[in-house]
A = this chain, B = another copy of it.
Amino acid sequence: MNIKVTILGNNSALPAYDRHPTAQVVDIREQQFLVDCGEGTQVQMQRFNIRRRRINYIFISHLHGDHYFGLMGLLTSMGLMGRTGELHLFGPPPLKEIIDLQLAVANTVLPYPILFTPVTEGMSRVLVDTPHYAVHCFPVAHRIACHGFVFTAKSGGRRLLPEKCRELEIPAAFYPHLKQGEDYLRRDGLLIRNDEVTEPGPPDKRYAYCADTLYTHSFIHHLSGVDAMYHESTYLDDQRERATERFHSTAAQAAELARAAGAKRLLLGHFSSKYQDLAAFYTEASAIFPDTEVTVEGTTYEI
């Protein structure tokens, strides 16, 4: 099962050149996950045909404004559009207070429940786990508490060998259990081992969003072999010192990390407003890690 990532905003804090602050939508089997929500995200969603009602999960990496100042507007609009279904929100603990305060002063009660899960500093754990997808968080290294997220599209388990199943007279009702790796005990007492009637299914797909971070290997184990990773590249490498001072990375550093992690593909974003032309980001990173893409807002990357 593929993962689709649609970039809504790939600029750093100051909006410029029609690039917007950070937001992206991860789609797994038509379940949509919003990752960060900079100012104007709801307008970018309209522009790129992302339907707000389809978003059931929102993840906020950290509380710098360019990653969440669009959240209140989106939550309010969802309410005005009559949403009633649960919304799952994950983010730093103070996010709850910020939302509650702004709803209270507006004398507004949203017509749908927000189920908030605090992501506390340094936390590394599974946040969502279903038969089809899972999400876990990991800490990155930024000026304030900040987390990345890994999205896993589960493959659907082992692949059946239909002829073997029929030959061994396994009832079709048991097939879902076979896909999950279970053995089958026949009525006549014969134990049929799972690997007699199935083979390994396609592997899971994994996509890692690394949020805002300086260059470090501290979370590289979360990126190991991922099918794609999105890593910030606020600057080019001639600004490596400035990048580190500001807890950001360069394009070359993002590529070095992708290579060291054995990632299959690198998506770059979070470009500083000082750069209008982004061609050099590709040149710099692809020299180190060839399968690099400089993301473009409105583009959907199939992973």
Binding site for B on A (CB under 8 A): 13-16, 20-21, 39-40, 42-43, 46, 63-66, 69-70, 72-73, 76-77, 80-81, 92, 94, 97-98, 101-102, 105-108, 143-144
Contact = CB atoms under 8 A, between A and B. Distances in A.
A65 B105 CA distance: 10
Contacts of A65: 72-73, 76, 102, 106
Give 4 nearest A-B pairs by CB, closest first: A39-B73, A63-B105, A94-B105, A69-B73
A102 B64 CA distance: 9
User: Which of A13, A72, A73, A108 has the most chain B CB atoms inside 10 A of its CB?
Assistant: A73
B106 A63 contact: yes
Given A63-B105, A105-B63, A77 B43 contact: no
A81 B143 contact: no
Given A15-B46, A40-B40, A69-B69, 15 more contacts: A13-B76, A14-B80, A15-B42, A16-B46, A20-B43, A39-B39, A39-B70, A39-B73, A65-B72, A65-B73, A65-B102, A94-B101, A97-B101, A98-B105, A101-B101
A209 to B, nearest CB: 20
Nearest to A81: B14
Oligomer: number of copies: 2
Contacts of A97: 101
Given A13-B77, A40-B39, A76-B13, A106 B64 contact: yes
Contacts of A102: 63, 65, 98
A106 B15 contact: no
User: Which of A46, A64, A81, A105 has the most chain B CB atoms inside 10 A of its CB?
Assistant: A105
Nearest to A12: B80
10 contacts: A16-B46, A39-B39, A39-B70, A40-B40, A63-B102, A65-B76, A69-B72, A97-B101, A98-B98, A98-B102
A247 to B, nearest CB: 11
A106 B46 contact: no
A144 B106 contact: yes
A148 B194 CA distance: 73
Contacts of A15: 42-43, 46, 77
